[in-house]
Amino acid sequence: MFENISMVKNDEEDIEDYVINKEQIAWLASEINQLDDIYKAVLELKYVNEFTDDEIATFLKIKKKTVQMRLYRAKIMLRKRLGEQGYER
């Protein structure tokens, strides 16, 4: 009897974690959409399409160093926005 109660509790925690993660992903997507297109493009190609920096550079016809700098700057901007919203590492 008590085993079922712990299973229900675990299911509730899983559902809660799922909802929280989904909200965080939606918020992050919203923040990314507010970035300039040059930053959105490299983030999407890197983390959604899983391209390498070299592939992104070739695709966008820019230097690899430019890709790396845009990724770096995009992460800084997102980290700053996370901090402003109260999210910490």
Per-residue model confidence as pLDDT tens digits over 26-68 = 888 888 899 999 999 999 999 989 999 999 999 999 999 999 9
User: Domain 7-84 has what CATH class?
Assistant: mainly alpha
Q: Between these two residues, 41 and 1, which has the higher pLDDT value? A: 41
Give the pLDDT score at 3.
Answer: 42
pTM as predicted: 0.71
What is the rounded average pLDDT of the residues 69-76?
A: 96
Instruction: Please give the Cα distance from 30 to 15 (Å, whole number).
Output: 22
Residue 76 burial (CB count, 10 A)? 10
Give the model's confidence band at 7: pLDDT under 50 very low, under 70 low, under 90 confident, else very high.
very low
Distance separating alpha carbons of residues 32 and 24, to the nearest angstrom: 12
Q: Around 66, how many Cα atoms within 13 Å sit in the side-chain half-sphere?
A: 11
